[in-house]
Amino acid sequence: MTDQPRVPVRTRAPLPKTSVSSRKRRDKPRCPLLAKLLVGMLLLCLSPAALHADEPLFGFSYTTDLLPKGKVELEQWSTTRFHKAPGGQFWLQENRTEQEYGFSDRLQLAIYETYDSTAAYHNGPFGETTPAEQFSYYTPGPNDRFNATKFIGVSGEAIYRLVSPYTHPLGFAIYEEPTFGAGFIESESKLIFQKNYRDDRLVLAANMTYAPEWRRLREDENPSRKEIQEETDANIDLGASYRFIRNWSAAFEIFNEREFNSYNFTHESNSGYYLGPTLHYAGKNFFVTTNFDEQMPWAGRHVDTVPGALVGGRIIDNDFEKYRVRVKFGWYF
Amino acid sequence: MKSTFFLLPLAAIAIQGGAAYAATYLSVEQAQALMFPGASFQPDFKTLSEAQVKAIQHASGVDVRNREVKAWRVSTGGWFLVDEVVGKHEYIPFALALDDKGRVRSVEILEYREAYGGQIREPAWRAQFQGKDSGTRLQLGRNIRNISGATLSCKHITDGVQRLLVTYEIALKQNDR
C-alpha cells in the first residue's frame, strides 16, 4: 500500500500488545536489577520449597487452566520485537518476571514486573527514529540512534474461572490486569474461552481483550507541557494447541490487535494481524514455551492512523512491528 | 518502583505448601496381589478390531487410543486390567479389578508422574467406582466426585474406567461364558 504524503505529526503514544505486558517506565535504569533478578532465580532453584505450575500452551493466548489452590509458580518471559520500516533498525526486548498463586481453585492471582531494553534508528514512519511505545516519553531526533533500558512497571493479574472445560462443554474465565508505571496506568480486561477435544490434548482458546490506558506525555504542539493521552487496545486472539507426544505440544495462533484513541471503539488508529507457531515443553519441574509471530500484510488505514505508519500493508506505529519472538520459562520445583 | 519487587517471588515461595512428585506406587504384580489376594492370573491380551474400537467409543463416549487390551483372567473369578490415561503432561497408568459380573472391585493408580493432581490416589475417591458396571454412565461432577486441583486427572481416570468397563462388555465378557 502507498503511504500518504509526509506530514510532521508525531506518532501518538499508543499502547501494548495483547495479553502480555510491556509496561511503563522509570528513569535511571539500574544495572543491578538484572543481577538481583539472577540472584532471585538462583535462590529459587536452591529453595527446598516446592512450586507447582500451570503452564501456558500459547505465546499470547490465555486458557482457563489455573493453578490449584495454594500452589505457586514463577514465570520468566522474554519477548523480542524487531523489524519495522525497511532499511531502518529496531529491536525491543521485553522482560517480565511473574509470580502466580492459586488463591482458590477458581481464582489465580499474580504480580509481575516488566523491564525493557530497546534500540531504534530510522525505524518509524517516513524513516524517522521512533521509540517503542514503552519509551515514548523520549523524543529523539528523526536521525538519532536511540538506545534505552528501563524498569517499566508493576502489574497485578487476577483470573477467575467460572466454568471448567474439563467438566463442561466450554471453559470460560474472566481476567483483569491493572498496570502501574511512571506516568502510565492501564486496565486490561479479558474474556477467555477454552474448548478441549481428544482427551484434552487438543486445546482451542479464544480471548477478547479490552485495555484502556492513560499516559502522561508531552503535548504535540507544546513539548514543554504534558497532557494525559488515552488509548484503548481491543484484541482478539485465537489459538489451537495439540499435545502430539508426552510433554510436547505444538500450537498455532492468530490474533488481531487494534488501537483506538477513545474508549468506545471510535477513532481507530491501528490494526495489525499476527500469526505464528508455538512449541511447548512441560516436564516435572519446569516448562518452556517458544513462540514466533509475523505481522501479516493485512493492515489498512483508519481514521486516526498516523501518516507514514502503514508500510507494505503492515502497520509500524510504535506498538507494532513485523516480527515477535517470545520465550517463557516456568519453574515448579 | 523499587527493584526490591524482585523479592516478591521469594516471599510467595516461603508461604507455599508442599509438593507432589512423580512416583511409581505399584508394579503390575503388586497391584494384582493387592486387588486379588491369593489369586493367580492368566494373561488374556487382546487386540481390538476396528469394529470393536468403534463400538467401545460409541458406548463409552471415550476415544480408544490403544487397541491393545492388557487383561488377565483371575483364578478366583473376575478380570484384572492395566491401562493408561492422558495426564497433564504424562500418561497415568492404572489398574482395574472387575468381579465375575463385570463390576468394579477396585481401582489402583500404578504411577503418577505429574507435578500435582496426585489426590486421585485417595482411597475415598477411588472407592466411588466400586460396584459400577458398563451400564452406568460415569460422569465427573455427577456420579463421580471431582477433586479441585486434580480435575484433569479425575476426568481422565473416570473416562478410562468407563472405557475399560465397556471394553470388558464388548471384548472380554464372551470369554467368561
- Which one of B12, B88, B150 has the shortest CB-CB distance to A72? B12
Q: What is the CATH number of domain A32-331?
A: 2.40.160.40
Which cell goes with B72?
488377565
In a domain, B4, yes or no: no
- State which residues form the domain around B55: 21-176
The answer to whether the CB of B100 falls within 8 A of the CB of B176 is yes
Q: Report pLDDT digits (tens) over A213-264.
A: 998 887 777 777 888 888 999 999 999 999 999 899 999 999 999 999 999 9
Residue B80 lies in a domain: yes
Say how many domains are in chain B.
1
Instruction: State whether B9 and A44 contact (CB < 8 Å).
Output: yes
Q: Does any domain span residue B8? A: no
Say yes or no: A70 contacts chain B, CB-CB below 8 A.
yes
Rounded CA-CA distance A298/A276 in Å is: 15
The residue with cell 503492515 is A314
All residues of chain B having their beta carbon less than 8 Å from the beta carbon of residue A153 are 1
Residues contacting B39, CB < 8 A, separation 6+: B32, B74, B75, B76
As beta bridge partners, residue B106 has B97
Does a structural domain hold residue B14? no
Strand pairing partners for A114? A96, A153
Residues contacting B158, CB < 8 A, separation 6+: B138, B139, B140, B144
* A68 touches B: beta carbon within 8 Å: yes
Query: Which pLDDT score is estimated for A42?
Result: 41
- Residue B119 is assigned to a structural domain of this protein: yes
pLDDT recorded at residue A22: 32
Query: Which chain B residue's Cα is nearest to A32?
Result: B3
Nearest residue to B98 (alpha-carbon basis) of B24, B171, B25: B171
Ranges of residues in chain A whose predicted pLDDT is under 70: 1-54, 333
ipTM above 0.85, yes or no: no
How many alpha carbons lie under 13 Å from residue A67 in its C-beta half-sphere? Answer: 27
Q: What is the pTM of this model?
A: 0.81
| Per-residue pLDDT at A221 | 74
Structure confidence at residue B10 (pLDDT): 40
A34 has a chain B CB within 8 A of its CB: no
Q: Does B20 have pLDDT greater than 50? A: no
Average pLDDT over residues B144-149: 91
